[in-house]
Amino acid sequence: MTNLEDLPIRPDLVGQLPYGAPQIDVQIKLNVNENTHGIPEEVALKIVERTAEAALTLNRYPDREFMALRLKLAEFLGEDLDSGQIWAANGSNEILQQFFQAFGGPGRKAISFGPTYSMYPNIARTTLTGYQLLPRLDDYSLTAEYVRAEILRSKPEIVILCSPNNPTGTGIDLSVIEAAYESFDGMLLIDEAYQEFADTTSAISLLPGRPRLVISRTMSKAFAFAGARVGYMAADASVVDAMRIVRLPYHLSALTQAAAMAALETSNQLLANVEQIKGQRDRIIAGVQKMGLRPYPSEANFVLVNGFADTQLAFDTLLSKGIIVRDIGIPGCLRITAGTESETTKLLGELALLLD
């Protein structure tokens, strides 16, 4: 059998490993920021009904422009958006990939402020785009002055700001986004994968008059739809045209479109757990503070917790108790997804025993 090393792989991919968090079958999974509440039965039946209808015509290619889904997404987002300003793909990662394919490439550079989502450099690498990770401020926040200065110094073609930021949970004020947009002539993408859990205002309100601004969203988190793989974006219609140039034909299957339509038609039920998740997030923050740990403020569905003397020991101990969290490589820190009430109770109990 041939090994990977024996193949004429692209030189810049030599030695690289596939991206992905550990997939370990344990009782409580708090490592990849999924919505652990699951899909209500009524919604699941709606999805089954819609996908069954789509299955009858799977001999035909799906609607390449998925106009019905784009219209439904525009209605969901509001802000007077129309379907021409909406695009969707197989998860927000594919949105990011198409965005880099359209606006990145050889000789172009993207920047972001870290620690942040670890897929950004991976997508930059696979699209042959230069990537520079600039540090955030000490509390992981960003100010308009700091972001403006770094953009002017770095001279990028692409800037990505994650708000709320993964893995820190930090929100970004709209003034920071306005300053970033005004600081250069390139494309600014705001990754709002966790926006439904945030208190800060969505950057979608800034779209009018800003044709180089893109807002990326996902249905994986708040919608409890991670397995369906649906991401989407709002932008100027000209940006959507650019994405259409680089997308693969019929990239969004008929089954995916049908499932997403059903989810949007039942969005009230799917999003009903958002406030409960925020409550469990705040409960984790309060609970670990009492234990002497140092959680960072979060506007997402997870908490970055600092203060572990040995993160590997803490990770392994929790795993042995049937709980998986995420070691994201920041010394002393673990990232913990906010789950159900019972999952939080189990988590806090095991942490207390671990730290005793």
Q: What is the pLDDT of residue 5?
A: 84
First-residue to last-residue Cα distance in the chain: 51
Q: pLDDT digit string (tens) for 238-284?
A: 999 999 999 999 999 999 999 999 999 999 999 999 999 999 999 99
Question: Above 80 in pLDDT, residue 183?
Answer: yes
Instruction: Pick the closest to residue 300 from 223, 194, 200 (CA basis).
Output: 194
CA distance 179 to 177: 5
Give 301's DSSP letter. Answer: S
Give phi and psi for 53, each to the nearest 5. Answer: -60, -45
Q: SS3 sequence, 109-129?
A: EEEEEECCCCHHHHHHHHCCC
pLDDT at res. 21? 76
Domain boundaries, the chain: 4-40+272-355, 41-267
What are the tokens at 61?
Answer: 């290619």
DSSP secondary structure code for residue 229 in this structure? -
Mean pLDDT of all residues in 200-212: 96
State pLDDT tens for residues 82-92: 999 999 999 99
Tell me the two tokens of residue 279: 């409550």
> Looking at the whole model, is its pTM more than 0.85?
yes
**Alpha-carbon distances of 243 from 77, 97, 166, rounded to whole Å:** 20, 10, 24
201 close to 249: Cβ distance less than 8 angstroms: no
Percent of the chain exceeding pLDDT 70 equals 100
* Res 181: pLDDT: 98
Contact assessment for residue 203 and residue 215, using Cβ atoms and an 8 Å cutoff: yes
Q: What is the pLDDT of residue 141?
A: 96
pLDDT surpassing 80 at residue 1: no
pLDDT single digits (tens) 2-30 = 888 888 988 888 888 888 777 888 999 99
Q: How many CB atoms lie within 10 A of CB 206?
A: 18
- Distance separating alpha carbons of residues 233 and 238, to the nearest angstrom: 13
4-40+272-355 has which fold?
A: Aspartate Aminotransferase, domain 1 (3.90.1150)
Residue 143 CB neighbour total at 10 angstroms:
14
Q: Region 228-232: what's the mean pLDDT?
A: 97
Dist CA 109 CA 130 (whole Å)? 4
Is residue 35 within 8 A of residue 301, CB to CB? The reply is yes
User: What's the gap between Cα 185 and its chain centre?
Assistant: 25
The set of residues, in sequence order, having a beta carbon less than 8 Å from that of 11 and lying 6+ positions away, is: none
Q: How far, in Å, CA of 3 to CA of 21, rounded?
A: 24
Mean pLDDT across the stretch 126-151?
A: 97
Q: Which fold has domain 41-267?
A: Aspartate Aminotransferase; domain 2 (3.40.640)
Q: Indicate if the pLDDT at residue 94 is higher than 90.
A: yes
- Burial grade of 73 (CB within 10 A; 0-12, 13-18, 19 or more): buried
Mean pLDDT of the chain: 96
3-state secondary structure of 292: coil
